[in-house]
Structure 1
Amino acid sequence: MPNETYIAILRGVNVGSTQVKMAVLQKIFEDAGYEKVQTYIQSGNVLFDTRRTDTLKLARDVEALLRSELKAEIPVLVLDTGALREIHESNPFIVGRNEDIGKLHVTFLAEQPETSRLDKLERDKYLPDEFLPGEKAIYLFCPNGYGRTKLHNNFFESKLKVTATTRNWKTVTELLRLAAGR
């Protein structure tokens, strides 16, 4: 079985007390046996290859690895290239509306939330910011910028009871480009 490319998206890296140099992060992954390890920008995005296929188990293993090596609790989401491509190609703010990509973000979810929790979210309550749920992702349009929205990771984690981490559209696009080009 050939290696597959995966994307690890770490929550809360280099935005608070969890400061990690990307060279250190890359070495941790390489020392653990992952191949073709590459980081992208300082927010905790790691591309790597492995023969393993269970993304939930990979995420838990990377969390344990980071806990051991960095002495930090860092939630991790792992996607294969196909899942990232599906999220990228399904953005309703581009596909249906062609919004300014500088105002778009994706909140990645560790698992699909319960439908009842999604149904309880009052989308009109947060205008002009908008969100639309997708498969293990929430698509965001924040016309005044992500820094001003109430639709942040903690909001979605609290309401949906799942781990969440957000990336801007440029980062999502670049991660897909890097993963697809391997």
Structure 2
Amino acid sequence: MTKYVAFLRAVNVGKRTVKMEDLRQQLDAAGFKNVKTYIQSGNVMFESGSTNAAALSDKIGKLLLKNYGFEVPTIIRSVAQLEAVVKQTPFPGIVPDKSRQIYVSFLSGPVGPHAAQVIASLQSAAETLHMTAGEVYTMIKKDLEIKPLDVVAQLEKKLGIPCTTRNWATVNKVIW
């Protein structure tokens, strides 16, 4: 069995309400094992005998559409992949606090050849971005007089693929 984390995009925002207790029960009934959730923002940990993350994402997405009536982009990483995300941070030794925050945006698939240009265009004195094959790390410096541009909100649109973002604390907490 492989341990996974499913990151659900934009749940419990506005009218897109998904109760985590109900979701755990539904996923359990659908054959997922040891289903757990972390906070209400759509972080689901589970085990599966499948090694096909795309198929698992599709299965969860269809279950959410059927049971809640709206599509929920679902991005899945194995716990081993998340451990690598933490180890390869481009911001080693930086502990997020009130003056600096670190976010990881999980990309749903490969990005086009324009991605490096997009990332470069979003850099500023207040926001530092670093892209890997499947994630974009963002450090936001809040202690400057410059207001951050909230590039995290712009990533999906500018890269042209679905993504979902979690803060550094959440990324570390969902590794089980």
TM over 0.5: same fold? yes
Query: Could you tell me how far apart the structure 1 residues matched to 2:65 and 2:116 are?
Result: 31
User: Which residue does the alignment assign to 1:100?
Assistant: 95
Distance 1:138 1:124, change over 3 A: closer
Query: Counterpart of 2:77?
Result: 79
Measured after TM superposition, the shift of residue 111 of structure 1 is 1.2
The within-5 A match list for 1:141-156 is 141-144=139-142, 149-153=149-153, 155-156=154-155
Please tell me the residue identity of whatever aligns with 2:60: V
Residues 107, 124 of structure 1: CA spacing in aligned structure 2 closer, same or farther, 3 A cutoff?
A: closer
Partner secondary structure for residue 101 of structure 1: coil
* SS of alignment partner, residue 59 of structure 1: helix
Task: Tell me the amino acid that sits aligned with residue 172 of structure 2.
Answer: T
**Match for residue 138 of structure 1?**
136
What is the aligned counterpart of 2:116 among 114, 118, 123?
118
1:159 aligned residue: 158
Look up the SS of the partner of 2:141 in the other structure.
Answer: coil
By how many angstroms is 1:88 displaced?
1.1
Of Structure 1 and Structure 2, which has the larger fraction of its residues in helix?
1
Q: Is the contact made by 1:123 and 1:131 (CA closer than 8 Å) also made in structure 2?
A: no
Q: Structure 1 vs Structure 2: percent identity of aligned residues?
A: 28
The CA RMSD over aligned residues, in Å, is 1.9
Partner secondary structure for residue 93 of structure 1: coil
Q: 1:48 to 1:124 in 2, by over 3 A?
A: closer
Contact 1:109 1:162 in 2 (8 A): yes
Which string of whole-angstrom CA distances, capped at 9 and with x for unpartnered residues, describes residues 92-134 of structure 1? Answer: 012xxx3232411101101121232322433465331111111
Secondary structure at the counterpart of residue 114 of structure 2: helix
CA distance in 1, matches of 2:38, 2:52: 23
- Consecutive unaligned residues of structure 1, counting only runs of 5 or more, are none
Matched pairs, number:
170
Whether the 8 Å CA contact 2:126–2:148 is kept in 1: the answer is no
Of residues 9, 12, 15, the one that matches 1:11 is 9
CA contact (8 A) 1:123 1:130 kept: no
On the 8 A contact 1:14/1:42 being kept in 2, the answer is yes
Gaps of 5+ in 2: none
CA deviation vs aligned residue, 1:33-92 (integer Å, no higher than 9, x gap): 111000011110001111111111111111011001111111000111111111111110
Task: Provide the TM-score with structure 1 as the length reference.
Answer: 0.86
